Chains A and B, each alone.
Chain A
């Protein structure tokens, strides 16, 4: 269990983190989302001990995490860092060695990882000769080489093509299955929704929502209504009370030329909305909307 407990960080007068807490259990994948500058990277750097917190604590298995504990974590920093003039395999091996892996194991693990991440043909290339996507795979191999007990990955998916995303997701799933807690940040919310067991949303240095995707949905559900009405006169939506989030004119249904309105509404009164819809035309759909993570995110961060 990786626990982050009420972290505080200030830069001069700027409050970067204001009591950030989260916890990730064994085999749990935690998606860390938030706008740019919200505090994701700062939190992760403090977790890795790269940055000192002004207050709060990072615990691993109930004990405050020290240097020796963090050596057994795998880390992928926000800005990628690799030696430009080292070969791929040599580099991955080196980072394994300094993380305390013996020479033979480091070599074997490096070969396996390089193969798994599709870098086989590139193993003896200098890193500066690789494409950005491939460099990122190397970076991931560096984070994984020492069979870390926990993974802290800052934007591991950014800049990857869909195939690389799948390869990375596979590798992470495998680690998770081995009982490793995984924390990663991302702006690709669909990906977070698909991969993560739990999600934390951070806004201006504060955690505004944490929980499983289902929990967040439950919290945010019964807030949005989706109404589809056919054959209504234009302008009927003006009579709806509440805020219209999206409004689309759907293509005709079974009757040619008939108008179909598809509206997502944050209603002030759901019964009033139902009346308006029934009066306006034939109601084809009227239901609470299951919010996507992106919608939840917009809602809590707004």
Chain B
């Protein structure tokens, strides 16, 4: 077997069997599954049970039933009561959410919610107007015809309001997961580099494999772990959405957005893993690691924060620019594509730029790693690692 694959396989088997990895994966998958079920729970439509009593109770009932059939998201049950006292008792015992008496009074336990209030208001007006028109001597049939009004057709520039919320939730979930995974896996890469350097395992390894093979194998192995983690998480999310029936509610192109996020993870990982590995090769002890990694962690953190901003303002100039500029694009572009439509050429440009940036960092990082990884003891200065010092 190829040396790179052997190194990668070791990383996967040793890291993958740690408790931290397994439990971490489990917890994240459960969290994402919960998040994915959220649209189903949130937008599950509304259910109301309404009591009617007194004058015009029958008409109210008919009007409410008409509302029920008109809107698929709405379920209205109507219960007739003999008189106001019975209706009040039903409200008090939570048999109904509210009761309309004589088409003049609404009885409820506390303030009626806006959704229900709007329904009751509509029904009340319709029945009252019908009654008034009839009283004015109009033909009931024509009154009925006049009441047939086509509801307003909604045209929204950024999808429906509900859509926008779900898209935002998806975007934020993506940015959080990308950030967590990148920082976790890249830190593993860095720790692995220091483990091998600090314990001098590299001395033996590098008599058998080339530095680039060692680095590539390590990055590949941990990357596979990260990717499988991402796929499990994405799978758990989509499966939960499927099971809870949230899928029809998922905005168009959600699958594409998730697939895109996986692609962006790979690009971001190549970039940051090379950077973390090169920096880690400068030191010999784990205690020194967090100190030297700070600039790289800050960069990742900054991308993360910008990703958040992008989720809120997908059309802002900052979002627009940083969704193209690497390495920010690795976090901002998937978020932007989740929230709004991104022209294909912009996605392609961003991916190309990120790919180029990753290639540059891989090249420089590999160089630094090769020079620094054998130099144990004091921290190696970057200048020396680049070979600029004498």
Structural contact, B199 and A84, CB atoms closer than 8 A: yes
- The DSSP consensus for interface residues of chain A is loop
Structural contact, A98 and B7, CB atoms closer than 8 A: yes
A85 at the interface (CB under 8 A from B): yes
Residues of chain A within 8 A (CB-CB) of B205 are: 98
Structural contact, B210 and A67, CB atoms closer than 8 A: yes
Structural contact, A49 and B1, CB atoms closer than 8 A: no
Within 8 A of A (CB), among B160-212: 195-196, 199-210
B3 at the interface (CB under 8 A from A): yes
Whose C-beta in chain B lies nearest to the C-beta of A95? B204
Distance A97 CA – B5 CA, assembled complex (angstroms): 11
Distance A75 CA – B209 CA, assembled complex (angstroms): 14
A79 at the interface (CB under 8 A from B): yes
Closest chain-A Cβ to B247's Cβ sits at a distance in Å of 42
B12 at the interface (CB under 8 A from A): no
Residues of chain B within 8 A (CB-CB) of A75 are: 203-204, 207
Closest chain-A Cβ to B292's Cβ sits at a distance in Å of 21
Max chain B C-beta neighbours (<10 A), residue from A49, A77, A83, A98? A98
Distance A85 CA – B201 CA, assembled complex (angstroms): 13
Structural contact, B201 and A81, CB atoms closer than 8 A: yes
Distance A77 CA – B210 CA, assembled complex (angstroms): 17
Closest chain-A Cβ to B251's Cβ sits at a distance in Å of 44
Structural contact, A83 and B201, CB atoms closer than 8 A: yes
Distance A45 CA – B203 CA, assembled complex (angstroms): 8
Q: A50-B374, A97-B1, A98-B7 are in contact. Are A83 and B207 (CB under 8 A)?
A: no
Q: How large is the interface on A (under 10, 10 to 19, 20 to 34, 35 or more residues)?
A: 20 to 34
Residues of chain B within 8 A (CB-CB) of A80 are: 199-200
Across the interface, B14 reaches (CB within 8 A) one of A70, A86, A100, namely A86
Across the interface, B374 reaches (CB within 8 A) one of A51, A71, A78, A95, namely A51
Residues of chain B within 8 A (CB-CB) of A71 are: 207-208
Structural contact, B1 and A77, CB atoms closer than 8 A: no
Residues of chain B within 8 A (CB-CB) of A86 are: 10, 14
Q: How large is the interface on B (under 10, 10 to 19, 20 to 34, 35 or more residues)?
A: 20 to 34
Structural contact, B6 and A79, CB atoms closer than 8 A: no
1/0 per residue, CB under 8 A from A, across B207-221: the answer is 111100000000000
Closest chain-A Cβ to B63's Cβ sits at a distance in Å of 71
Structural contact, A49 and B207, CB atoms closer than 8 A: yes
Residues of chain B within 8 A (CB-CB) of A94 are: 6, 10
Distance A79 CA – B202 CA, assembled complex (angstroms): 11
Within 8 A of B (CB), among A52-104: 67, 70-71, 73, 75, 77-86, 94-95, 97-100, 103
Residues of chain A within 8 A (CB-CB) of B7 are: 98
Distance A81 CA – B208 CA, assembled complex (angstroms): 14
Closest chain-B Cβ to A90's Cβ sits at a distance in Å of 8
Closest chain-A Cβ to B28's Cβ sits at a distance in Å of 23
Structural contact, B195 and A77, CB atoms closer than 8 A: no
Distance A67 CA – B209 CA, assembled complex (angstroms): 9
Whose C-beta in chain B lies nearest to the C-beta of A77? B203
Structural contact, B14 and A85, CB atoms closer than 8 A: yes
Closest chain-B Cβ to A89's Cβ sits at a distance in Å of 13
Residues of chain B within 8 A (CB-CB) of A49 are: 206-207
Structural contact, A77 and B204, CB atoms closer than 8 A: yes
A110 at the interface (CB under 8 A from B): no
Whose C-beta in chain B lies nearest to the C-beta of A86? B14
Closest chain-B Cβ to A99's Cβ sits at a distance in Å of 5
Residues of chain A within 8 A (CB-CB) of B199 are: 79-84
Distance A45 CA – B376 CA, assembled complex (angstroms): 13
Distance A85 CA – B175 CA, assembled complex (angstroms): 32
1/0 per residue, CB under 8 A from B, across A126-169: the answer is 00000000000000001100000000000000000000000000
Structural contact, B201 and A97, CB atoms closer than 8 A: no
Structural contact, A77 and B200, CB atoms closer than 8 A: yes
Structural contact, A81 and B204, CB atoms closer than 8 A: yes
10 contacts between A and B (CB under 8 A): A48-B203, A50-B374, A77-B204, A79-B203, A81-B199, A81-B204, A83-B199, A98-B7, A98-B205, A98-B209
What would 4 more interface pairs be, CB under 8 Å, given A71-B207, A71-B208? Answer: A48-B207, A79-B200, A83-B195, A98-B6
Chain A: residues with CB nearer than 8 A to chain B?
45, 48-51, 67, 70-71, 73, 75, 77-86, 94-95, 97-100, 103, 142-143
The 3 closest A-B pairs by CB, nearest first: A81-B200, A81-B201, A77-B203
